[in-house]
Amino acid sequence: MTTKFLGKTVGKAPTGFKALDPIARVEAAHAYGVDYWNAYEFNYLDDKKIPVLKVLQILIPSSSTFTVESKSLKLYLNAFYKKSYSSDVDVLSKISKDLSKLTKSLIEAKFLKKFSSEPEALDINTTKRIYTKPLQIIKFTGFRSICPVTSQPDFANIYICSDLPIDTKWLRSYLVSYRDKGDFHEQCIENIYKDIASKYKITRLEVCGRFLRRGGIDINPIRSSHKKFFFSNFREFNQ
């Protein structure tokens, strides 16, 4: 995979739309889904040239033709620190317009004052249950995967809700198997969704990856069999 900036030393990077690097979606699951991107250190100037620091949420549908490469998005957002805007609406409109053009889909951007609460879940790392209960939210902690470009590790907690019981021993072993695999966050969750759905012939299934942030941004994909999701843009133990 060829990227503009990921895995490379960046000198004077382009700003604005030219800084963004599209990544084509591959092997999409037959599922509904969104990717929540949270930028915790988004900084720009108001109409009086006063710095404003906010948490920015970007919502990218999994049906988009492209997603955005994370390092290019960081460079794009970092350039806002010296730009002045008359209102929050103008800032968000600029981001939504640029990312919608890049991904060829409708992108939503908004500022957050708080996240949703972490859902209660059964920790399958430690449970003694052989099978999960139907429609019970389950959580796997310490998920690890490898960036396919830089070979650096990414970490997450994985949340799953299924209408059929799942063998906890099998699920633990399966999720542990990702520890040395190279895939982007979104593709990991796509594959987890597809493999569980295929093994159990599940009617209702949803998988959410709550990844730890890098460079002030985290990516949290959700894939679901239904349009209405169990999971939202939640935050774990105020991390």
Rg (CA), the chain: 19
CA distance 27 to 161: 22
State in Å, rounded, how far the first CA of the chain is from the last one: 32
Place of tokens 């720009």: 44
| DSSP letter assigned to residue 172 | H
| C-beta separation of 60 from 35 below 8 A | yes
CA distance 105 to 33: 13
Tokens matching residue 15: 């700003």
| C-beta separation of 213 from 94 below 8 A | no
Point out the residues that are catalytic: 147, 154
